Structure 1
């Protein structure tokens, strides 16, 4: 049985200036930009070989959790079965258009409360790793 990770980095947009200049000890950039040609830098699409998802919902640069490594296989999403749908033609009455509003409730949580302790080996494992500032 093989383990396939769907891990991604989740980070705030404001880490970009620092990320674009980060290098490993061999003076190689640690990010890889999509379509990078060597003449101009693009927004990084991967960090250490894993995709980056940028969001304004992550803490600012320098805060705990400004960049997080997540494998969303360890995350559960709950969607309520009740979905409210409303419609109105008041907004665009003269254009003969109709507006729709859909309401639902969504919540999520981690499936594991504590790290996994492997049978062999001493390092603990987790589906989410938060880097300290």
Structure 2
């Protein structure tokens, strides 16, 4: 895998990790909080074009992340743990997180990215580069 291909997979994994975090927070919030307050249920707020654009981009990223999730699900447990650990470290800008499930973290992470690449190409999330 070339450096550009690795960077593309890395970008998709970062977007996927952020989506995973948002999903976890939303699920947690649903368990403890009602989705709407009875006093404000009929309230309507005006949206701006920027908010509409942001919502559209967010929707597209969410759809893409769902496809990445399907690919990640096909990896081994060790590879999934390596990806999660690496993404958590990159999100916190530190290398403090480790997983007991993963032996050599960086090697397993790189193999997971290499295994993900053809799956992401097959789902048209990454365009395959053809040598000229």
Q: TM-score range by the shorter chain?
A: under 0.3
TM-score (norm 2): 0.21
Kindly indicate which of the two structures has a greater share of residues assigned to helix.
2
Larger radius of gyration between Structure 1 and Structure 2: 1
Kindly indicate which of the two structures has a greater share of residues assigned to strand.
1
